[in-house]
């Protein structure tokens, strides 16, 4: 899921970052079996299938409608279910994508989901996780001003009603479940200018906003490895193999 009530040009910018993180993490070495958990209509599977047509990509979603759309749009199989109750028949994967999914689970579901995701990774498999981070929450709403203004422009707002993970929370949850975070990436510059960028997307033509988004992407690429405030954080996670 992207941001509700935010101009399409801004969501395109965030979506581009999602794709860059995923494609960089996968790398494309050999044949891969990939699960897109919370697949929706196939937003994140499209770039993988396009670049690596021989990969075995499978969707999973709690919505029957999305499962049908995914199959139709991608011509790849999809299962109906949630990450907290992954079907055993799915088997194991080289990569699992889980993007803004855990944010909607309560604590019990979250613990089960993390355990299930790790158990469905192959020995050398990786989980690509992207979730909202509390450090960027106030930047996302421009300290409340963006929400106030957007309510007067549109009926919906940027509030997704999901949780925001705090610093160290993801790392600790996965450590307790037998996983380990290998690396992470952030969106520090996008987070800093998120409010003005959303307003610009409403007031200015896309042709004016897109070049600015490209410049922001460049800065995010340079600063993304630093622990700076971010609206979203991407993690690459593996199972911790006991010696």
Minimal CA–CA distance to 46: which of 83, 80, 78, 73? 73
pTM, full prediction:
0.91
Task: Round the average pLDDT of the chain to a whole number and report it.
Answer: 90
pLDDT digits (tens, 9 = 90+) for 155-188: 544 444 688 999 999 999 999 999 999 999 999 9
Angle 194-203/145-153 helices, nearest 10 degrees?
A: 20
- Flag whether pLDDT at 141 surpasses 50: yes
pLDDT digits (tens, 9 = 90+) for 34-86: 999 999 999 999 999 999 999 999 999 999 999 999 999 999 999 999 999 99
What SS3 string covers 102-161? Answer: HHHCCHHHHHHHHHHHHHCEEEEEEEEEEEEEHHHHHHHCCCCHHHHHHHHHCCCCCCCC
CA–CA distances in Å: residue 89 to residues 24, 83, 92, 179? 28, 14, 9, 22
Q: Return the higher-pLDDT residue of 28 and 219.
A: 219
Residue 243 is predicted with a pLDDT of 46
CATH number of 8-239: 3.40.50.150
Q: Return the higher-pLDDT residue of 222 and 195.
A: 222
């Amino acid at each position: 899921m992207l941001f509700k009530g935010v101009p399409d040009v801004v969501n395109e910018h965030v979506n581009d970052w999602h794709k860059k993180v995923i494609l960089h993490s996968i790398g494309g070495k050999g044949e891969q079996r990939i699960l897109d958990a919370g697949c929706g209509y196939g937003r994140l599977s499209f770039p993988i299938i396009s670049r690596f047509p021989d990969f075995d990509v499978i969707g999973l979603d709690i919505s029957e409608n999305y499962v049908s759309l995914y199959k139709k749009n991608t011509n790849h199989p999809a299962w109906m279910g949630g990450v907290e109750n992954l079907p055993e028949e799915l088997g194991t994967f080289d990569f699992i994508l889980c993007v803004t999914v855990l944010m909607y689970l309560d604590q019990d579901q979250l613990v089960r989901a993390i355990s299930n995701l790790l158990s469905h990774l192959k020995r050398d498999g990786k989980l690509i996780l992207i979730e909202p981070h509390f450090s960027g929450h106030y930047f996302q709403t421009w300290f409340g001003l963006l929400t106030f203004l957007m309510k007067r422009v549109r009926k919906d707002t940027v509030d997704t009603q999901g949780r925001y993970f705090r610093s160290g929370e993801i790392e600790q949850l996965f450590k307790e479940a037998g996983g380990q975070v290998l690396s992470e990436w952030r969106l520090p510059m996008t987070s800093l200018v998120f409010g003005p960028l959303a307003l610009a997307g409403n007031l200015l033509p896309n042709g004016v906003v897109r070049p600015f988004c490209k410049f922001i992407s460049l800065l995010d690429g340079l600063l993304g490895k630093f622990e700076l405030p971010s609206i979203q954080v991407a993690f690459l996670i593996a199972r911790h193999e006991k010696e």
